[in-house]
Amino acid sequence: MQSNRKRNFHPNPQVVYGLHPLIEAIKSGRPVEKLLMQQGAGGELFMELKKIAVAAGIPVQSVPAEKLQRLCAGGNHQGAAGFVSLVEYASLENLMPAAFEAGRVPLVLIFDRVTDVRNFGAMVRTAECTGVDAVVVPVQGSAPVSEDAIKTSAGALMRVPVCRSENLKTTIHFLKASGLHVVAATEKARTAYFEADLNQPLAIIMGSEEDGVSSDLLKLCDESLRIPLQGEIESLNVSVACGIMLFETLRQRQR
């Protein structure tokens, strides 16, 4: 017999609300993208949820009660709602040794503040087509792995390992220590992308739609590469630029 109790799940499977369901979701290891918590709310259970979310590295945002009401379609949210990822995140620390052990030349794609969902999905689709081993996204300031992103990726988000990074600087240091050559795609560079040696263990950083790769990350790169342009517009869409970089890498590796 079906229970008459309402489950605290929004019709959109990406949204979970209610204190107990969210605590259990985090404790069970489900990948929570972001937690929204009501301004001025409190209580022992409320504070427990906030504590375990922070400990798990989940971004927590304080919002008005009205926003939670709209998001949860009037359900009993108890002051909190979370966006649960539709994919399981992978561990970069496990993927890199596995790639080397399998005899592959690792190729990693790093997104620095890529926030447009369609760009995100399209880039992961290209990553899957070009044999990328892992896509790295920051915990904060990145497009969510949503239904739109999965649709735009043509399902590639279900195939390419996606790794979340709490600190991209730390991730870059790890990749360099693992033997990867780290390059950034930026119009500020002097070297053209086709002049670089991409036929080596490689990590490519693609920057935000607004201002490209951040200066802090550029300083950590082994090399910066540009895509020469002939027109009046000074930059390409990040998804297009990503495709150019990845297919040049594939071309060099298939020579």
Q: Is 9 a member of any domain?
A: no
- pLDDT per residue, tens digit, the chain (255 aa), is 333 333 344 444 578 889 988 998 888 777 888 899 999 988 999 999 999 999 988 889 999 999 999 988 888 899 999 988 888 889 999 999 999 999 999 999 999 999 999 999 999 999 999 999 999 999 888 888 877 888 899 989 989 999 999 899 999 999 999 999 999 999 989 999 999 999 999 999 999 988 999 999 999 999 999 999 998 988 899 999 999 999 999 999 998
225 and 110 in a common domain: yes
- The contacts of residue 207 (CB under 8 Å, 6+ apart) are 112, 113, 114, 184, 185, 186, 213, 214, 238
Collapsed DSSP state (helix, strand, coil) of residue 239: helix
Instruction: Output the domain CATH number for residue 98.
Output: 3.40.1280.10
Q: Are residues 185 and 60 in the same domain?
A: no
Q: Please tell me the total count of domains within the chain.
A: 2
State how far the Cα of 64 lies from the Cα of 36, in Å rounded to an integer.
9
Tell me which residue range forms the domain holding 176: 92-253
Q: Specify whether 224 is located in the same domain as 151.
A: yes
In a domain, 128, yes or no: yes
Q: Considering the entire predicted model, what is its pTM?
A: 0.79
- Indicate whether 76 and 102 sit together in one domain: no
Instruction: Flag whether 8 is in a domain.
Output: no
- For the chain, the straight-line distance linking the first and the last C-alpha, in angstroms and rounded, comes to 63
- CA dist 204 and 168 (Å) reads 12
Which tens digits make up the pLDDT trace of 9-30?
A: 444 457 888 998 899 888 877 7
